[in-house]
Chain A
Amino acid sequence: MAARDPEETPRRVTDRRRFLAGTARAACGVGAAGLLLGLLARQGAARPAWAIRPPGAGDEADFSGLCVRCGLCVRDCPYKTLRLAELGVPIATGTPYFIARDIPCEMCEDIPCVKACPTGALDKGLTEIEKARMGIAVLVGQEDCLNYLGLRCDVCYRVCPLIDKAIKLEKQHNQRTGAHAMFIPVVDSERCTGCGKCEKSCVLEKAAIRVLPVDLATGALGAHYRLGWEEREKHGGPLLPDIIDLPDRTPGGAL
């Protein structure tokens, strides 16, 4: 089949040349457009920390492959918490999010937004709203938090739907007065759903406690790290039989 037609006319050659040139041009043009689109996709993957995804949304990579940006979750949100990113907002266009300081998630028991999602971008496996991980509240503004100033504001703690589980108050000595206690709001990142009610109700001009996306609000141990006390428990005793006991020293050099 590869043999050339001996009666090939110059005209057919130019036709073929034109065809090949046209095909190459189309391929290159479309390839360039594809590159731009790919860059746009990469760029659009960035999400500002104030934009919190609805309950049941996986990490951004999973989410952007499933969300068709139809807004059915927005429609079924009874509190108008959710909205779709308009073109021009620095979030992947058309994807749902909420701003905790504006309208937080009310943590509906039947989770209508997840039910409404046709593609599973909001995971149908989420049936208990307390297991949602929209984000994690972090007390970012310690210097201005009224409780840190020794007052009894406690509002974030009081409004938390999981009071004493997701936010606890921990008693500390007030060094400034030397006589009083401080009640420090402490978030349990295992229990916090990221609903944002604390951020919404923070009485400060700018909220001292804020919901951040989970990956921003958490650290991670190195995969090779082992906690000695846990390993010892698992092992049922010290892992090394004759551990060397070095002398304890204090900074002053005294034993």
Chain B
Amino acid sequence: MTGAAASPARRMLARNKWLLLRRSSQLGILALFLVGPLAGLWIVKGTLASSLTLGVLPLTDPYMLLQSVFAGSLPALTAWIGAVIMLVFYALIGGRVYCSWVCPINIVTDASHWLSERFDVPKGWQPKRTLRRWILGMTLVVSAITGVIVWELVNPITLLYRGVLYGVGLAWAAVLAVFLFDLFVSRRGWCGHLCPVGAFYALAGWFALLRINAVQRTACDDCMECYAVCPEPHVITPALKGGEKGGGSVILSSDCSNCGRCIDVCDREVFRFSSRFAQATDAMPQRHRNAA
């Protein structure tokens, strides 16, 4: 038993540590893009689709490049270099880190989720989690048929970025649509069920090294706070409750976006970041039991 239970209620700041870090990351990245057009300080140019940092580092969204290839085009070398850098980065630290630490729409859908819980809006349509993979496949097929990078016609992520950086047009309407969809049609619907960008990055981070570890799972008192706060709660069970069946304590599902909300809300300090190969403290007696 750790001292967490005995300690006084943790302060607001500590309970939202990862959330605040995440928001700083999401807004900070947008700010890096924005100081160029606003203050003439060109640190990063472009958008999340493709960018150039400090005039040397090209980054290209690999999903965008994939659609371009499916559309029958052969992108130039710079785009390939940028896409490989992104792929390697997210393959290591967790693909859906893009969703929770970079994507600006996450702020929108989190706000929608907060409201829907607060005002007890019905959950609405809850399709299967595999739906977004179907949509991912569909965008590639439609790209191939039309010869257009097709998700970019509707992608709210880059619509929002372009809106902020190049002139807003009606981009706010697309963002509002996602907000309302999540609020009234399908709670956690956009990021959790539909967005093919998230589906792509989940696949990219299938073997990610950085993961969340329910390392103190024996201390869990079943308060369910982590399930309530997790955008993909199905990823928790195998790690948190799999101990009796000899399962590891690391959350291995690529649906987990490494957002760290579970770490924030858990009073028993069950969760922390670790490598995917880490062992829980209760793994040892488990092994003894198996050996006996």
A residues near B (Cβ < 8 Å) are: 22, 26-27, 29-31, 33-34, 37-38, 40-42, 44-45, 61-62, 64-72, 74-76, 83-89, 92-94, 116-120, 124
**Those of B22-75 within 8 Å (CB) of chain A:** 36, 42, 45-47, 49-52, 58, 60-61, 64-65, 68, 71-75
B46 touches A75 (CB 8 A): yes
A26 touches B166 (CB 8 A): no
A64 touches B147 (CB 8 A): yes
Tell me the complex Cα distance, A66–B78, Å.
Answer: 13
A118 touches B141 (CB 8 A): no
Instruction: Name the one of B47, B78, B79, B153 contacting A93, with C-beta atoms under 8 angstroms.
Output: B153
Tell me the complex Cα distance, A74–B45, Å.
Answer: 10
Sample 21 A-B pairs with CB under 8 A, ordered by A number. A26-B130, A30-B135, A34-B138, A37-B153, A38-B145, A38-B146, A64-B71, A68-B149, A69-B152, A72-B45, A74-B166, A75-B36, A86-B163, A86-B171, A87-B174, A94-B159, A94-B162, A116-B52, A119-B68, A119-B73, A120-B76
Contact string against A for B residues 172-199, beta-carbon threshold 8 Å, 1 for contact and 0 otherwise: 0110000000000000000000000000
**Those of B130-145 within 8 Å (CB) of chain A:** 130-131, 134-135, 137-139, 141-143, 145
Known: A34-B139, A86-B170, A94-B162. 19 other contacts (CB 8 A): A26-B128, A26-B134, A30-B138, A33-B138, A44-B153, A65-B73, A66-B75, A67-B149, A69-B158, A70-B50, A71-B45, A71-B47, A76-B45, A83-B166, A86-B167, A86-B169, A87-B159, A87-B173, A120-B79
Nearest B-chain residue to A58, judged by Cβ: B73
Tell me the complex Cα distance, A254–B130, Å.
Answer: 85
Q: Which residues of A contact B158 (CB under 8 A)?
A: 69, 94
Nearest B-chain residue to A89, judged by Cβ: B169
Interface size grouping (class) on chain B: 35 or more
B131 touches A66 (CB 8 A): no
Instruction: Name the one of A41, A69, A74, A86 contacting B142, with C-beta atoms under 8 angstroms.
Output: A41
Assess A64 versus B76: contact at CB under 8 Å? Given A34-B142, A84-B162, A118-B58.
no
A66 touches B134 (CB 8 A): no
B168 at the interface (CB under 8 A from A): yes
B154 touches A37 (CB 8 A): yes
Nearest A-chain residue to B76, judged by Cβ: A120
A69 touches B146 (CB 8 A): no
A84 touches B52 (CB 8 A): no
B169 touches A65 (CB 8 A): no
- Taking the nearest CB of chain A, how far is it from the CB of B198, in angstroms? 15
B76 touches A117 (CB 8 A): yes
Q: Which residues of B contact A65 (CB under 8 A)?
A: 68, 71-73, 143, 147-149
B153 touches A92 (CB 8 A): yes
A70 touches B51 (CB 8 A): yes
Nearest B-chain residue to A72, judged by Cβ: B46
A66 touches B138 (CB 8 A): no
